[in-house]
Chains A and B, each alone.
Chain A
Amino acid sequence: MSNPTNGHLPGSPAAPSHSAPPDRYVPGTGEVRRHRLIALVLDRPGVLNRVASLMRARSFNIDSLAVSHTDQPDISRMTITLRGDDVAVEQAAKQLYRLIDVLKVQDVTAETTIENELALVKIRATDTTRPEILKVVELSRGRVVDLTPESIVIEVTGTEAEIDGFVAMVRTYGIKELVRTGAVVMSRGSGSIEEALKR
């Protein structure tokens, strides 16, 4: 009874025993973690709608979705971060493949990647708090992009966790407005999803 998926070894006689067999594994009930998918799609009308609609209909919970052009004129790139167990996310990727406009999907969760997102944060600032804020900004490698007597707008880039950290730090001063692009991801090394597509 060593095989968790069916409790039965290959080739054994398998006469139903009197003791109840272990439960069969139900796909999608494993440990949940954050996954990062890259999808290359044809830049056709409605393609974003198709992807979003599919994720909604199949109950996959998207954390973020970033869409942009690629170096190829009619191909767009989507970076999707979502939570689920490995089997559920693999299922999401396979469902994406069923869309006619989807060319390639890669789960890069386990790969070494560069991951970045950009955030603009408008923070309440006074003469007393401004120096402190600027200190935090400096430590977070942020950049001041707008300054008024009452506010300061900071641009930060980093991983989701880094930006979460920055936002938590400045929240005490009062966040007036926050916008984040969602993560974009690229694998390290010379391998290329776009080149893989051409092959």
Chain B
Amino acid sequence: MTMTKGGAGGRRGPDGGAASAGEPGSAPAAPAAPAHEAPPRGAERRNHVPGAGTAHAAAVERAQREMLRDGSSAAAAAAGRVAGKRQRIGADVVCESLIRQGVHTFFSYPGGVILPLYDVLGDYPELRHILVRHEQGGAHAADGYARVTGQVGVCVGTSGPGATNLVTGIGTAQLDSVPMVAITGNVPGALLGKDAFQEIDINGITLPMTKHNYLVRDANDLPRVLAEAFHIARTGRPGPVHVDITKDALQQETSAPHPSHEEIVAGLPGFRPNLDGHYRQLKLAAQEIAQARRPVIMAGHGVLHAGAEQELVALAEKAQIPVAWTLLGIGAMDETHPLAYGYMGMHGWKHTNRAIQSADLLIAFGMRFDDRVTGNVKTYAPYARIIHVDIDPAEIGKNVAVEVPIVGDAKRVMKALLPMVPAVDTQERRDYLAQLAAWRAESEASSWHGSGAWRDGLLSADYVVTRIGELTNHEATYVADVGQNQMWLARYAGFRHPNTHVSSGGLGTMGFSLPAAMGAALGRPDRETWAIAGDGGFQMTSQELMTLVQDNIPVKVAIFDNKKLGMIRQWQEIVYAGNYHSAHLLGPDYLKLADAYGVPAIKATTPDEVDEAIRFAQSVDGPALIWFEITGEQNVFPMMPAGKGLSDLIETWGGPEE
């Protein structure tokens, strides 16, 4: 038996019948009552459309019909596509722009108002679209992709909840200055401001957490806006740019051309980042460096953004100055270089912080002296004058007062500075460097390294991280989550190359590692990619395991399961007198979970199982998961308690092994 849709004499299509009342230009006449609805006697039929009959009311009505997807333009576009020919619409401009900007892969999730984009995506096989499981995952993936490639990462979401789900990822990119373009759909222009279905003021939300944002209501503006968005995201200090596009703009036909680079720059008269340091300031800096006896170079994320690793080494070697780095500066220098002096700050190395506290000159490149780096500013580097090089003038003098401010790109400034600083031979710095070496030996010896087992017999986290670093030859991309796992990774994995360490530093976003690793793996498929996740953070975004499987993204996920919000537990132990409220956290059976997703998985509980587990994950062609059951009691030391200074590091608490 066959069934027919709608019998003879059945209802007409959605555009027929009563729906035509209230078309543009028609009088505000009340629609005729359908036959089956007998009007109450004597009643006058009313029309509830506000301002019925005006062009505005007609536009609203058209927009509402578009939202229900029975609009004529969607239907026409679909019909045109079926017929193999159609006009260029706003959604095409989005795709063209991505291709023009060199974006090969982007991360997205569909929804009502962004569907016009999905309707044309099939026409652009050069664009790889990764369907994530949650928009936050999409934003972090775009972020991870950007951090390892240096290119602008792109994520896309629908209006309302899709857009708000992107927000954490956009904020993460903002605080770590990661180039990103986040695109959202919004309700048709005529419905903006009417609290339409899934309408939220997403521009208002992203305004304070983006480098810039746009609302596009006319497809003719799209080529310019998207070109500006990419230009702004990657130029000067990088950062996220949000572009909100109304559904009708995505569907609107347009022949607007893409602007040239000159046109883009001319259209942004308020955006002229200064890249070259001022000559007079460079001279002052060179003088300071020449006079300094205990200088320390400090490398931040800006060094990596600028691609200034070689210049950094050249400068350090010429003037024989040790180099310390921030969390996001990890990888700016090969850690095995003789002048590489380690990771600074709250959980940094004691010797590194000690060098800063006794320095007479700090030469900071591309960092912002945030509170995790300085601790209490009053007691920070009390003997040091400061040269601060940053591409963002607002960073200079914001957190610490500096003697020599230099606004510019780290690479260009280092290049210009190099011939100006006098060459220093090792002999001249002998005493200083010998003291630093002694400090380093002392500090590394006091940090607990052992057979790999903690005092309770369970695995120690630093051992696992160390082995992951070693068995991957320090050649992988390592993506941290947030908490103790993040600090262990930063301290013990051993980094050799730029952009192999990815970490949410500024926002400290739990759940970052897995989705960001997804983007990192796609951005740098030539490298193995490891996500280092705490059990807490993993449970925040674990749904992306399915994305790994669907798109065969070969991320190796290492769960550091201490069955705790470890960093919370550590703070509660040290700062809140052991009041462990909510630090204990149940987790699932991760092997079963991985199995359910179809991800090969293995568990390691004792030191002798660690290598085998890592090798197993490496041997899998595709994603794999390791469940490391680690001790629940280990603390990350040293630690600078909040409000204290870099000289007040805590190194033990309780047990003698720590």
Interface of A toward B, CB cutoff 8 Å: 5-8, 10-16, 21-27, 41-42, 45-46, 49-50, 53-54, 57, 87, 90-91, 94-95, 97-103
Is the C-beta of B293 less than 8 angstroms from some C-beta in chain A? yes
Name 12 A/B residue pairs within 8 A (Cβ), A-sorted: A10-B288, A11-B292, A15-B358, A16-B357, A21-B383, A25-B401, A27-B399, A45-B215, A53-B207, A87-B397, A100-B212, A100-B232
B contacts with A: majority SS: loop
Which residues of B sit under 8 angstroms from A27, Cβ to Cβ?
Answer: 397-401
Is the Cβ of B207 less than 8 Å from the Cβ of A46? yes
CA distance in complex: A49, B397 (Å):
26
Which partner residue on chain A sits nearest B359 by CB separation? Answer: A14
Which residues of B sit under 8 angstroms from A87, Cβ to Cβ?
Answer: 397, 401
CA distance in complex: A94, B358 (Å):
31
Is the Cβ of B382 less than 8 Å from the Cβ of A103? no
B41 to chain A, nearest CB (A): 52
Is the Cβ of B268 less than 8 Å from the Cβ of A91? no
CB < 8 Å neighbour of B269 from A8, A22, A49, A103: A103
Which residues of B sit under 8 angstroms from A26, Cβ to Cβ?
Answer: 377-378, 401
Whether A21 contacts B270 in the complex (CB less than 8 A), given A27-B398, A98-B394, comes out as: no
Is the Cβ of B358 less than 8 Å from the Cβ of A16? yes
Is the Cβ of B397 less than 8 Å from the Cβ of A42? no
Which residues of B sit under 8 angstroms from A97, Cβ to Cβ?
Answer: 393-394
Whether A14 contacts B293 in the complex (CB less than 8 A), given A21-B382, A24-B377, A91-B397, comes out as: yes
Is the C-beta of B271 less than 8 angstroms from some C-beta in chain A? yes
Is the Cβ of A50 less than 8 Å from the Cβ of B207? yes
Is the Cβ of A103 less than 8 Å from the Cβ of B270? yes
CA distance in complex: A25, B294 (Å):
21
Chain B interface size band reads 35 or more
Is the C-beta of B629 less than 8 angstroms from some C-beta in chain A? no
Is the Cβ of A8 less than 8 Å from the Cβ of B400? no
A183 to chain B, nearest CB (A): 24
Is the C-beta of B291 less than 8 angstroms from some C-beta in chain A? yes
A117 to chain B, nearest CB (A): 27
Which partner residue on chain A sits nearest B377 by CB separation? Answer: A26
Is the Cβ of A6 less than 8 Å from the Cβ of B382? yes
Which residues of A sit under 8 angstroms from B397, Cβ to Cβ?
Answer: 27, 87, 90-91
B644 to chain A, nearest CB (A): 14
CA distance in complex: A13, B435 (Å):
15
Is the Cβ of B270 less than 8 Å from the Cβ of A49? no
Whether A14 contacts B360 in the complex (CB less than 8 A), given A24-B379, A46-B207, A53-B208, comes out as: yes
Which residues of A sit under 8 angstroms from B386, Cβ to Cβ?
Answer: 6
Which residues of A sit under 8 angstroms from B398, Cβ to Cβ?
Answer: 27, 91, 94
CA distance in complex: A5, B394 (Å):
19
B396 to chain A, nearest CB (A): 8
CA distance in complex: A190, B385 (Å):
40
CA distance in complex: A7, B382 (Å):
7
B80 to chain A, nearest CB (A): 32
Which residues of A sit under 8 angstroms from B383, Cβ to Cβ?
Answer: 6-8, 14, 16, 21
Is the C-beta of B403 less than 8 angstroms from some C-beta in chain A? yes
Give the 9 A-B residue pairs with the shortest CB-CB distance, closest first. Answer: A14-B360, A21-B382, A94-B394, A11-B291, A23-B378, A100-B212, A14-B383, A103-B270, A57-B208
Is the C-beta of B142 less than 8 angstroms from some C-beta in chain A? no
Is the C-beta of B203 less than 8 angstroms from some C-beta in chain A? yes
Is the Cβ of A24 less than 8 Å from the Cβ of B394? no
CA distance in complex: A49, B204 (Å):
9
B345-378 interface mask toward A, CB cutoff 8 Å, 1 = contact, 0 = none? Answer: 0000000000001111000000000000000011
Which partner residue on chain B sits nearest A90 by CB separation? Answer: B397
CA distance in complex: A69, B268 (Å):
19
CA distance in complex: A23, B381 (Å):
10
Which residues of A sit under 8 angstroms from B358, Cβ to Cβ?
Answer: 14-16
CB < 8 Å neighbour of B379 from A23, A46, A101: A23
B270-304 interface mask toward A, CB cutoff 8 Å, 1 = contact, 0 = none? Answer: 11000000000000000010011110000000000
Is the Cβ of A8 less than 8 Å from the Cβ of B360? yes
Give 20 new A-B contacts, CB below 8 A, not counting A22-B382, A24-B382, A87-B401: A6-B382, A6-B383, A10-B288, A11-B293, A13-B293, A14-B294, A14-B360, A14-B383, A24-B401, A25-B401, A26-B377, A26-B401, A27-B401, A53-B207, A87-B397, A91-B397, A91-B398, A94-B394, A97-B393, A100-B270
CA distance in complex: A43, B401 (Å):
34
Is the C-beta of B380 less than 8 angstroms from some C-beta in chain A? yes
CA distance in complex: A196, B203 (Å):
32
Is the Cβ of A5 less than 8 Å from the Cβ of B401? yes
Whether A5 contacts B403 in the complex (CB less than 8 A), given A14-B360, A100-B270, comes out as: yes
A109 to chain B, nearest CB (A): 17
CA distance in complex: A91, B368 (Å):
14
B392-424 interface mask toward A, CB cutoff 8 Å, 1 = contact, 0 = none? Answer: 111001111101000000000000000000000
Which residues of B sit under 8 angstroms from A23, Cβ to Cβ?
Answer: 378-379, 382
CA distance in complex: A46, B197 (Å):
23
CA distance in complex: A41, B271 (Å):
12
Which residues of A sit under 8 angstroms from B357, Cβ to Cβ?
Answer: 16
201-218 of chain B: CB within 8 A of chain A: 203-204, 207-208, 211-212, 215
A124 to chain B, nearest CB (A): 40
Is the C-beta of B384 less than 8 angstroms from some C-beta in chain A? yes
B413-442 interface mask toward A, CB cutoff 8 Å, 1 = contact, 0 = none? Answer: 000000000000000000000000000000
CA distance in complex: A27, B398 (Å):
7
Which partner residue on chain A sits nearest B228 by CB separation? Answer: A100
CB < 8 Å neighbour of A46 from B203, B269, B288: B203
CB < 8 Å neighbour of A42 from B207, B269, B393: B269
Which partner residue on chain B sits nearest A103 by CB separation? Answer: B270
Which residues of B sit under 8 angstroms from A6, Cβ to Cβ?
Answer: 381-386, 403
CA distance in complex: A38, B235 (Å):
26
CA distance in complex: A12, B215 (Å):
56
Is the Cβ of A49 less than 8 Å from the Cβ of B403? no
Which partner residue on chain A sits nearest B386 by CB separation? Answer: A6
A46 to chain B, nearest CB (A): 7
CA distance in complex: A95, B215 (Å):
22
CA distance in complex: A30, B25 (Å):
65
Which residues of A sit under 8 angstroms from B400, Cβ to Cβ?
Answer: 24, 27
Which residues of B sit under 8 angstroms from A45, Cβ to Cβ?
Answer: 215
Which residues of B sit under 8 angstroms from A42, Cβ to Cβ?
Answer: 269-270
CA distance in complex: A94, B207 (Å):
18
Which partner residue on chain A sits nearest B394 by CB separation? Answer: A94
CA distance in complex: A12, B397 (Å):
24
Is the Cβ of B401 less than 8 Å from the Cβ of A98? no
Which partner residue on chain B sits nearest A17 by CB separation? Answer: B383
CB < 8 Å neighbour of A98 from B291, B359, B382, B392: B392
Which partner residue on chain B sits nearest A26 by CB separation? Answer: B377
Is the Cβ of A99 less than 8 Å from the Cβ of B270? yes
Which residues of B sit under 8 angstroms from A102, Cβ to Cβ?
Answer: 270
